[in-house]
């Protein structure tokens, strides 16, 4: 009986030690699985600023104002559409001496469009929230999602 227990424990130890495959791990401790991800780097989450309608943000003397949503033709989530649609917004950029209004079409899936460059920052337009869920839904509280990056 003791002999069988000894044989079973040796077999168990052999199996558990062979599960630790040292051939696939490199000196840095990363495995083959980690090499298949984007070069083993962690993607840093984006930090977005939300602007409500008629809100503004000041960046180095420039003032970016989310004026309005001109139209929202994005396909609602509960509807099957041929085209995902887009929303059109109006923003104003004031540099202290001049105000420029711009209409920008935002695709339904969002994008990254540079809207302002200052000596120290770049401002990208990302998306419009919330996304419509039902057909003929009226959205009252739109938010413009922007990303501000230092140069």
pLDDT of 24-74, one tens digit each? 444 455 555 555 555 678 877 778 899 999 999 999 999 999 999 999 989
pTM of the model: 0.66
- Whether the pLDDT of residue 15 is over 70: the answer is no
Average pLDDT of the residues in 123-127: 93
Q: Tokens standing for 78?
A: 């509960």
- Whether the pLDDT of residue 22 is over 80: the answer is no
pLDDT at 17: 62
- For the chain, the average pLDDT equals 82
Whole-number Å distance between alpha carbons of 43 and 48: 15
Coil vs helix vs strand at 76 = coil
Are the beta carbons of 115 and 104 closer than 8 angstroms? Answer: yes
64 Cβ contact partners less than 8 Å away, ≥ 6 residues apart: 51, 56, 57, 58, 91, 92, 93, 115, 116, 123, 146
Least confident of 1-10, 115-124, 137-146: 1-10
Least confident of 28-37, 83-92, 114-123: 28-37
- Whether the pLDDT of residue 111 is over 90: the answer is no
């Amino acid at each position: 009986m003791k002999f069988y227990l000894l044989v079973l424990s040796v077999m168990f130890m052999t199996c558990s030690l062979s599960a630790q495959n040292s051939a696939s791990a490199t000196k840095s401790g990363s495995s083959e699985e980690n090499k298949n991800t984007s070069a083993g780097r962690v993607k840093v989450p984006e930090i977005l600023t939300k602007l409500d309608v008629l809100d503004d943000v000041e960046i180095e003397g420039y003032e970016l104002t989310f004026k309005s949503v001109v139209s929202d033709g994005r396909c609602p989530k509960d509807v099957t559409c041929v085209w995902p649609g887009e929303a059109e917004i109006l923003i104003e950029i004031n540099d202290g001496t001049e105000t420029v209004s711009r209409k920008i079409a935002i695709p339904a899936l969002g994008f990254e469009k540079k809207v302002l460059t200052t000596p120290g920052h770049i401002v990208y337009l990302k998306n419009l929230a919330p996304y419509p869920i039902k057909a003929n839904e009226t959205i009252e509280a739109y938010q413009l999602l922007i990303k501000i990056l230092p140069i």
